[in-house]
Amino acid sequence: MFTLNCKGKLLVIDNPLVMGIINATPDSFHAPSRVSTTDAVLHRAEQMLLDGAAILDIGGQSTRPGSERVPEAEELRRVTDVITAIHQRFPETIISIDTYNARIAAAAVAAGASIINDIGAGNMDNNMLSTAGALKVPYICMHMQGTPENMQQHPVYEDIAREVLDFFIDKLAACREAGIHDVIIDPGFGFGKNSQHNLSLLKQLHTLHILDKPLLVGFSRKTTIYKTLGVTAAEALNGTTVINTISLMNGANILRVHDVKEAVETVKLFVEYGKAETGIRS
């Protein structure tokens, strides 16, 4: 069991949790996750909460492979409007800000976010770790080889599980030094990894348990799923459910998803499976 202090609200992870994705962007790879008006934001947030999301993850910058960075002012406008609207309507909701920019993270926390979700693990903004430490909020630290602009061009690993583990050992030390108390680790599926890398890392997910930190998996509708199945991202819900199930069996604590209802049902069945006794007579 893990307990995270989210600006005074305790988030207890005794069973796996679901994080719902809300993209305040016009270009994120899964179109239904995008929102462009306040009404759409609130409707999406309400439905995700009704479906069982424990966290809402708000991003204003697409990080799909080959994406280009938007100006800081534009990202700031996108996320603060969304976070403010959700926080005012649903004040008890735990919101994470998906950004690698320290100034955006600080503004988002001021607007109502209480977790920082950084794909750059502090490597894309040298002020991020110190900012997260000063804000005293949980920090999601993700592994990525390269940057969103070039990460899928030629990713290379000799032993991906060992290299990702070594990365997190170093990063956890840096987080402690920066004063970050609650760290969640994200292996970064699809970020500087091809399909073989992703599936190999998923199969060896248990190697990250040695870190004794909550483990977040974000595999929802990604290329490895839909290209393996020969479908599109829009058709990859069933494949996502399969991968989420494997992730839970290998120790994932948080599933970051586009489709909250289906992920919550997956978690419920996984938990009940874990409770089931053998040899019961009907």
Q: Which two tokens stand for residue 27?
A: 């270009």
Under 8 Å CB-to-CB from 7, ≥6 apart: which residues?
Answer: 109, 114, 136, 137
Q: Does residue 222 carry a catalytic annotation? A: yes
Task: Tell me whether residue 208 is exposed, middle or buried, using C-beta atoms within 10 angstroms of its C-beta: 0 to 12, 13 to 18, 19 or more.
Answer: buried
Measured in whole angstroms, the distance separating CA 23 from the mean position of its chain's CA atoms is 12
Instruction: Give the C-alpha separation, 49 to 103, whole Å.
Output: 28
**Which residue from 180, 164, 163 is spatially nearest to 172, judged by alpha carbons?**
180
**Which residue from 29, 21, 102, 91 is spatially nearest to 59, judged by alpha carbons?**
21
> Which of 34, 193, 221, 256 is flagged as catalytic?
256
Instruction: Give the C-alpha separation, 245 to 25, whole Å.
Output: 28
In contact, 68 and 149? CB cutoff 8 Å: yes
> Which of 34, 78, 171, 222 is flagged as catalytic?
222
Instruction: Give the C-alpha separation, 106 to 215, whole Å.
Output: 24
Q: Does residue 213 carry a catalytic annotation? A: no
- Return the SS3 of 57: strand
Query: Residue 52: left (phi > 0), alpha (psi -120 to 50), or beta?
Result: left
Helix, strand, coil proportions of the chain in percent (round to 5)? 45, 15, 40
Q: Which two tokens stand for residue 29?
A: 């790879």
Residues labelled as active-site residues: 222, 256
